[in-house]
Amino acid sequence: DAKTTQPPSMDCAEGRAANLPCNHSTISGNEYVYWYRQIHSQGPQYIIHGLKNNETNEMASLIITEDRKSSTLILPHATLRDTAVYYCIVRVVFQGAQKLVFGQGTRLTINP
Amino acid sequence: DVKVTQSSRYLVKRTGEKVFLECVQDMDHENMFWYRQDPGLGLRLIYFSYDVKMKEKGDIPEGYSVSREKKERFSLILESASTNQTSMYLCASTERSQYNEQFFGPGTRLTVL
């Protein structure tokens, strides 16, 4: 399984863009990068995923480097409700079902 | 709105008790998962199921069993609860297609005394 490395914590001012980095240098060619977040006392929430092209949805943008060894999740206009732990995950397929390997994540704090 | 629900948000049990954690999803998903989450250890997969009556061990199945009699329901069983099973338990589901995201329930915080 490809491992991911994320900074343990980050701060961002409300209204600014939050850029969360993730390193996954051992990722293989058919593995996707997924981002989830977990707000305190809630279950994880899917944000976005990608293979090699940049992706954008209503929640965030995902930028994957050309060599696919790292990626950045961008929350364009962070709000206080975006305070959460953000997990960068490389998806592994096992027995036909998805197995998500969660690391320690980045604790993002949005400051007023 | 799609939902994964878990039977309890908080549960307190005594050592040696048999504990049932229930998870129900209304999305007709084939795959269902049980994780536990502990500080400093992140999420760890206990068991998963890719069809009714089918189950596969995850990374930490010891001390647990599961049951999937109906597609929408996946139960986690602690045959004889121990204090080291005090944790947050999270259920998730996903369609069979490998490119879909997992939907998580709100979690059950279990304390074993």
Tens of pLDDT, residues A74-93: 999 999 999 999 999 887 65
Task: Say if the Cβ atoms of B43 and A93 lie within 8 Å.
Answer: no
Quick one: what percent of chain A has pLDDT higher than 70? 89
Asked whether residue A31 carries a pLDDT value surpassing 90, the answer given is no
With an 8 Å Cβ cutoff, are B98 and A91 in contact? yes
Asked if B94 lies within 8 A of A97 by C-beta distance, the reply is: yes
**Average of per-residue pLDDT across A16-37:** 92
Closest-CA distance, B79 to chain A, in angstroms, reads 25
Distance separating alpha carbons of residues B73 and A12, to the nearest angstrom: 40
Residue B53: count of CB within 10 angstroms of its CB: 9
Cα distance between residue B4 and residue B23, in whole Å? 7
Tokens representing A32 are 């996707």
Query: B5 at the A interface (CB within 8 A)?
Result: no
- Residues on chain B touching A104 (C-beta within 8 angstroms): 40, 42
pLDDT of residue B92: 92
A34 has pLDDT over 80: yes
Cβ-based contacts under 8 A for chains A and B? 59
Average pLDDT over residues A41-49: 90
What is d(CA A99, CA B56) in angstroms, rounded to the nearest whole number?
11
Span A61-65, average pLDDT: 97
Low-confidence ranges of chain B (pLDDT < 50): none
Asked if B31 contacts B50 with a C-beta cutoff of 8 angstroms, the reply is yes
The 10s digit of each residue's pLDDT in B5-37 is: 999 999 999 999 999 999 999 999 998 999 999
pLDDT at A94 over 90: no
pLDDT of residue A93: 58
Would you call B42 and A104 a contact, using CB atoms and an 8 Å cutoff? yes
Burial level of B69, CB count in 10 A (0-12/13-18/19+)? exposed
- B107, A43: Cβ pair inside 8 Å? yes
Residue A102 has its nearest CB partner, among B40, B42, B101, at B42
Residue A29's pLDDT band, with cuts at 50, 70 and 90, is confident
> Residues B57, B58, B63, B67: is their CA dihedral positive or negative?
negative
